[in-house]
Structure 1
Amino acid sequence: MITEKSITDFIYREAELLDTMQWDAWLALFHASGRYWMPLEWQQQDPVLQPSLMYEDLLLLKVRVERLAGERTFSQKPKSRCHHLLQAPTITACDPANGLFKARTSFIYTETRGDVLERYSGWASHDLIESDGHLKIKLKRIDLVNFDAPFGNIQLFM
């Protein structure tokens, strides 16, 4: 049975997989119809009819992961690395009877490559579903505090 603790553990595990570059294990956390969304505007409601920093389905996520893992990806020499510092997730919905699980987590994210260090702050919202007894990401939404700032290339995943 899915509990608030299992949701929290799932979110911490996802960050660990990203920080240790276990890309295939991270992709396996997504439902087949899962999405990764980074809105361009504060409280943006529509990822399709409004521009977003990122709005990727599982296929696009796989393409990005293949690029990151590729030996011939010269933009990743040296490789980017990241670190997630998470506040304890707030469970906003835990309804096993209806398969509804949601959480929101404040974070500080650091990404580095060579001598360049970028830091971002914001909130990660997870909409999760149960699939074969396991939690899967239906939607991961990243709301940055400074969403309207000019950004360099965000190489990895927050």
Structure 2
Amino acid sequence: MTVVADAPLKNAVPTDQELIDFVVREARLIDQQRFDEWLDLYADDAFYWMPLEWNQTDPRLTCSLMYEDKLLLSIRVERLKGARTFSQKPKSRCHHVLQTPQVDSRDAAANSYVTWTPMHYIETRQDEQTLYAAWATHHLAVEGGRLKIKLKRVDLINCDAAFGNIQLFM
């Protein structure tokens, strides 16, 4: 069975189940290393944010583990696909274990939908395997009849710990 990356919505306003399915599909695309399809889920003005501090409220005035716009995300995707990316030989792999995403807010008039997903994320390369526990918050909007990510915020439970390189996307 092939997973459709960003299936068109049946109606102009997504149902809760469509929002939940979108979040689950996004994680699956990362796990299957379908990074171009994954990147297409992001709006052109989207950001991917991983705060460095607990309850951090601003990604610009405080350091973050990651705060990347779509251009930086696309550069990372190209690096992961590159033949001369020696740090990815062999390639890193990952696995998301998601709890059921919850719809935190929906405002059809403002075209704004927010989900919250507790998860465990495992990243592995050769003999090394790293487990992260986190919450992912997706801020979504409908563009051209499809859901798009405007902001994905990944809050690591131990965000203030020392980390090695996180190679893929949570």
Fold equivalence (TM over 0.5): yes
Q: Counterpart of 1:102?
A: 114
Equivalent residue in structure 1 for 2:164, among 129, 141, 152: 152
Q: Counterpart of 1:64?
A: 76
Q: Which runs of 4+ in 1 moved over 4 A?
A: none
Report the secondary structure of 2:95's partner residue.
Answer: strand
Query: Within 5 A, what are the aligned runs for 1:32-71?
Result: 32-71=44-83
Q: Which amino acid aligns with 1:111?
A: E
Pairwise CA distance, 1:97: 2.6
**Structure 1: distance between partners of 2:146 and 2:68:** 22
Pairwise CA distance, 1:98: 2.2
Report the secondary structure of 2:120's partner residue.
Answer: strand
TM-score by length of 2: 0.92
Equivalent residue in structure 2 for 1:80, among 57, 81, 92: 92
Report the secondary structure of 1:44's partner residue.
Answer: coil
Amino-acid identity (%): 56
Q: Counterpart of 1:90?
A: 102
Greater shift in the superposed pair: 20-29 or 89-98:
89-98
User: 8 Å contact 1:40–1:52 — kept in the other structure?
Assistant: yes
Q: Which amino acid aligns with 2:100?
A: A
Q: Which amino acid aligns with 2:164?
A: G
- Gaps (5+ residues) in structure 2? 1-10
Deviations 1:87-145 (A, max 9, x none): 00110112223211000000000000000000000100000011011100000000000
- Gaps (5+ residues) in structure 1? none
User: 8 Å contact 1:3–1:94 — kept in the other structure?
Assistant: no
Q: Counterpart of 2:5?
A: none
**Structure 2: distance between partners of 1:23 and 1:128:** 19
Equivalent residue in structure 1 for 2:25, among 4, 13, 30: 13
- For the pair 1:127 / 2:139, whether they are aligned, the reply is yes
Equivalent residue in structure 1 for 2:37, among 22, 25, 28: 25
Q: Counterpart of 2:8?
A: none
**Structure 1: distance between partners of 2:88 and 2:158:** 25
**Structure 2: distance between partners of 1:75 and 1:95:** 43
**Structure 1: distance between partners of 2:108 and 2:18:** 12
Q: How many residues align?
A: 158
